[in-house]
Amino acid sequence: MRDHFIKRLTELAAKNPKILLITGDLGFGVFEEFARRFPKQYLNAGVAEQNMSGLAAGLALEGRTVFTYSIGNFPTLRCLEQIRNDICYHQADVKIVSIGGGFSYGALGFSHHATEDLSILRALPEMTVVAPGDDWEAEEATEALARQEGPGYLRLDKSSAGHTARTGETFEIGRGRVLLEGDDFTLVSTGGILGVVLEAAKKLVHEGIKCRVISLHTLKPLDTEILLKSARETGGIMTVEENTVTGGLGGAVAEACLEGGVPPALFYRIGLRNSFATIVGSQSHLRRCYAMDEQTIVKKAIQFLGFKRKISKKGAAL
């Protein structure tokens, strides 16, 4: 996703001199071409994320469209006060880019695990929150955020679902994508774990289960229409996120369904539950350890559908 982000940003910067990329001393081996081609649109702020965010807000208020960049929690949680007070409060045109969503940097330990960022950034007023699920979404989200004024957060993952776009498809912030049709229940995911969800959905077909799969790449604003439609048509929703379930994707979907008056008959959230990841390892290893891998999704889905069918029969008997 990182390479697709910088590819599209380079194209945009060539057309728009207001675009400015500020890195927190990262992106080596990735940003060299951008820095060479656009020396007046590139800045290394050093390992000083609070300063980077305040600087970005000031430059945005002077008319620039600023992208800040670092890994894991550094461009978000470390400088949360500057994001809240300097960027969001002033509606500054700053896009915060975090490479390494979820367990992407799992081998570096929990300080590098970005597993609360979606919940926390989503809570900030004026902030748009986007977590692409594949390379196409990453590129398109970069451009969409650049064109949209105001604060934005782009969470990039090391993993990706590859390329899921259909011919002629257009990307829109706040508009989810149905990638697989089905009516047994709905799987909703955000971020790079989409690839795992799609593989799990294919395995479920062999179990006689056809589930709808939605890539909800934008957590805020949320596409409530696609969620309410799925709750009505499939009766059950399971969310999958590489993030704490508290306040993240699962929380957002639950809020939308309940406030929309369409509570699904069954609802389940897959993600971290009130814990930090205390194990060190690869992203796929940590997904297995914390029950958000393909096998766990298949197992939970089979149990989930069993409950749903029992409820349906009970309802019919009544």
How many other β-carbons are positioned within 10 Å of the β-carbon of residue 234? 21
What are the distances in angstroms from CA 246 to CA 179, 193, 257? 25, 17, 16
Catalytic site includes residue 11: no
**Distance, CA of 15 to chain centre:** 27
Residues 263 and 156: their CA atoms lie apart, in Å, by: 31
CA–CA dist 270, 144 (Å, integer):
28
Within the chain, where are the H helices? 2-15, 32-37, 49-61, 80-82, 117-122, 135-147, 194-206, 224-234, 249-259, 283-289, 294-317
The single residue of 11, 32, 33, 49 carrying the catalytic annotation is 49
How many Å apart are CA 46 and CA 67, to the nearest integer? Answer: 15
CA distances for 170 relative to 40, 137, 158, 166, 167, angstroms: 32, 10, 23, 9, 9
Amino acid found at 118? L
CB atoms within 10 A of CB 307: 13
Nearest to 199 by CA among 219, 213, 186, 185: 213
**Which has the closest alpha carbon to 107: 241, 275, 285?**
285
* Backbone phi and psi for residue 105, each to the nearest 5 degrees, phi listed first: -105, 45
Active site residues: 49
